[in-house]
C-alpha cells in the first residue's frame, strides 16, 4: 500500500497548517531581509584623538562606512540562520498541527464508530454528544434528529404493514370459511351456493376498496403526476351529491358555502381529498348532526375547510386520526364501511401539494379540518 494513499482529513489539515506556517514565515523572512538590505548603512563612531576643549564643538565627528564585504557576510549569516530557524519551526508546526487536528477530529471518530453500530433494528440509539456547543455538536444533534425521524418512519411502516396484513387477511379468512361451509354441505342447493357466492363477492368488493385506497395513498406519497389549474370549489361540489345522499340516510344535514379558490395540482387527488373529508364528516357524525363545507381564500391561501358535529374527540388524539388504520372508535369498525385510510390519504395529498393541513376537535364534539393550498395558479 502506498504511503498516504488515503488523504484523511487529519492529514490534510496537518499539511494545511504546515504550508500556511511555512508560507507566512517565508513572507516574514523576505520582508525582514529586504528591510535589512535596503536599510540605513552601519555606522561606526570613533572619538577624536586627544581633543582640545575648544575643538569639541568645532570639529565634525568622523563617520566610517563598514566594508562592503563584511556587510554582505553579515547578511548571508542572517539569511542562513533565519531559513534554518524557519525550517525547524515548520517541522514543529506540522507536529503540533497533527496533534491539534487529532483532538479536533476525535468527536467525529466517535460519531463514526457509533453510527457504524446502528442498524434498522436499533434505531433507538443516539449519539448524545456532550461536547462544547460548536459545529460538531450541531452535527451530532442533527444526526440524532435524523435517527429519530427514521425510527418513527420505520415504526409507522411496521405498523402499516401489520394493519394492512390484518385488513386483508380477515376478509380472506371469512371468504374461505364461507366457501368451505358451502362445499362441505352435501345438501346445499343452487340457492345456498349462490348466497355464499354473493357474500364472498360483497367481501371481495371491500378488499377492492381497501386496495384502491392503499394505491391512492401510495400515489399521493410519491408526489404529483399532474400539475393543472383547478378550483377547490369545483372539487368539493363534485362530491357533495353522493355525500348528501349518504347524509340523508344517516340523518345528517350537509351545508356548503363554496367560493372560488384556485390553485394548482392533481385534480384527481384533490377531488379525493375533498371526498374523503366530506364523507368522513358524514360517517363520523351523530343522528341529527350537521356537516359544513367551505371553500375560499383564508390568510391568502386557497382553502378547503370541513366541519362536522359528532362525538367528542380528545385533543391529544386528533393527530393520531391521520395515521393509517386509525378510526374514531377503536382500531376496527363493525360496519366495515370505514377503512381507516381516509384521513391518511388526506394528509398524503396535502403534503404532495405543499398544503397546510390543520385539524382541531370542536368543543361540543366533532372535528374541523382545514387544508390551505399554495396561492393562485
Summarised one tens digit per residue, pLDDT across range 274-288 is: 988 999 899 889 989
CA distances from 209 to 42, 167, 247, 272, 359 (A): 102, 11, 20, 13, 25
Q: Closest Cα partner for 308 from 238, 242, 365, 248?
A: 365
A 10 A CB-CB count for 207 gives 15
Q: What percent of the chain has pLDDT over 70?
A: 82
Q: What is the pLDDT of residue 142?
A: 85
Of the two residues 81 and 69, the one the predictor is more confident about is 81
Q: Cα 230–233–239 angle (5° rounding)?
A: 100
For the beta carbon of residue 68, count every other beta carbon within 10 angstroms: 9
Q: How far apart are CA 151 and CA 121, in angstroms?
A: 9
Fold of 123-222: Helix Hairpins (1.10.287)
pLDDT at 332 (0 to 100)? 37
Q: What's the grid cell of residue 118?
A: 446502528
pLDDT at 47: 57
Contact (CB, 8 A) for 66 and 44: yes
Report the alpha-carbon distance of residue 215 to residue 219 in Å, rounded: 6
Least confident of 11-15, 20-24, 111-115, 127-131: 127-131
Q: Of 222, 360, 367, whose CA–CA distance to 289 is shortest?
A: 367
Determine which helix (DSSP H) or strand (DSSP E) holds 262, and give its type and residue range.
strand 262-265
Query: Cell 386496495 appears where?
Result: 211
pTM above 0.85, yes or no: no
Expressed in angstroms, the distance from the first to the final Cα of the chain is 61
Please check whether residue 352 is in contact with residue 269, taking contact to mean a CB–CB distance below 8 angstroms: yes
**pLDDT digit string, tens, across residues 37-67:** 776 665 555 555 555 555 555 555 555 455 5
The position carrying cell 525547524 is 88
- Confidence at residue 51, expressed as pLDDT on a 0 to 100 scale: 56
Domain pair 123-222 / 226-372, same fold: no
Q: What is the pLDDT of residues 135-168, one digit of tens each?
A: 778 888 888 888 888 887 777 777 777 767 766 7
The length of the chain is 377
Q: Say what angle helices 135-184 and 68-117 make with each other, to 10 degrees.
A: 20
Whether 335 has a pLDDT exceeding 50, the answer reads no
- Kind plus residue range of the DSSP H or E element containing 367: strand 367-372
Q: How far is CA 111 from CA 99, 137, 152, in A?
A: 19, 10, 21
- Among 55-69, 112-126, 171-185, 209-223, the least confident range: 55-69
Residue 291 near residue 278 (C-beta atoms within 8 A): yes
Going from the C-alpha of 372 to that of each of 112, 223, 299, 375, the distances in angstroms are: 42, 18, 9, 9
Could you tell me the residue ranges of all domains in the chain?
Answer: 9-117, 123-222, 226-372
Q: Three-state secondary structure along 272-338?
A: HHHHHHHHHHHHCCCCCCEEEEEEEEECCEEEEEEEECCCCCCHHHCHHHHCCCCCCCCCCCCCCCC
Q: What is the domain class of 226-372 according to CATH?
A: alpha beta
> Cell digits for 10?
487529519
Neighbouring CB atoms inside 10 A of 370's CB total 21
Amino acid at each position: 500500500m502506498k504511503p498516504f494513499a488515503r488523504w484523511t482529513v487529519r492529514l490534510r489539515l496537518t499539511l494545511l497548517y504546515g504550508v500556511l506556517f511555512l508560507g507566512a514565515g517565508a513572507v516574514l523572512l523576505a520582508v525582514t531581509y529586504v528591510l535589512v538590505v535596503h536599510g540605513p548603512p552601519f555606522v561606526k563612531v570613533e572619538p577624536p584623538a586627544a581633543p582640545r576643549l575648544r575643538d569639541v564643538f568645532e570639529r565634525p565627528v568622523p563617520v566610517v562606512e563598514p566594508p562592503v564585504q563584511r556587510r554582505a557576510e553579515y547578511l548571508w549569516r542572517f539569511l542562513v540562520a533565519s531559513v534554518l530557524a524557519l525550517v525547524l519551526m515548520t517541522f514543529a508546526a506540522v507536529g503540533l498541527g497533527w496533534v491539534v487536528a487529532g483532538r479536533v477530529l476525535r468527536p467525529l471518530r466517535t460519531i463514526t464508530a457509533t453510527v457504524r453500530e446502528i442498524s434498522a433494528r436499533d434505531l433507538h440509539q443516539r449519539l448524545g454528544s456532550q461536547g462544547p456547543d460548536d459545529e460538531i455538536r450541531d452535527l451530532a444533534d442533527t444526526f440524532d434528529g435524523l435517527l429519530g425521524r427514521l425510527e418513527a418512519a420505520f415504526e409507522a411502516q411496521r405498523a402499516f404493514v401489520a394493519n394492512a396484513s390484518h385488513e386483508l387477511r380477515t376478509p380472506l379468512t371469512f371468504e374461505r370459511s364461507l366457501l368451505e361451509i358451502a362445499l362441505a354441505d352435501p345438501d346445499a342447493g343452487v340457492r345456498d351456493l349462490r348466497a355464499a357466492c354473493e357474500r364472498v363477492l360483497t367481501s371481495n368488493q371491500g378488499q377492492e376498496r381497501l386496495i384502491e385506497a392503499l394505491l391512492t395513498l401510495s400515489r399521493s406519497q410519491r408526489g404529483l403526476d399532474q400539475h393543472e389549474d383547478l378550483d377547490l370549489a369545483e372539487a368539493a361540489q363534485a362530491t357533495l351529491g353522493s355525500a348528501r345522499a349518504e347524509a340523508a340516510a344517516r340523518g345528517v344535514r350537509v351545508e356548503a358555502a363554496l367560493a372560488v379558490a384556485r390553485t394548482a395540482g392533481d385534480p384527481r387527488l384533490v377531488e379525493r381529498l375533498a371526498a374523503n373529508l366530506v364523507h368522513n364528516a358524514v360517517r363520523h357524525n351523530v343522528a341529527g348532526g350537521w356537516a359544513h363545507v367551505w371553500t375560499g381564500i383564508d390568510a391568502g391561501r386557497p382553502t378547503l375547510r370541513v366541519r362536522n358535529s359528532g362525538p367528542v374527540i380528545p385533543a391529544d388524539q386528533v393527530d393520531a386520526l391521520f395515521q393509517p388504520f386509525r378510526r374514531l372508535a377503536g382500531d376496527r369498525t363493525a360496519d366495515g364501511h370505514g377503512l381507516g385510510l381516509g384521513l391518511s390519504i388526506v394528509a398524503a395529498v396535502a403534503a404532495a401539494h405543499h398544503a397546510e393541513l390543520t385539524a382541531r376537535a370542536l368543543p361540543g364534539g366533532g372535528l374541523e379540518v382545514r387544508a390551505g393550498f399554495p396561492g393562485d395558479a
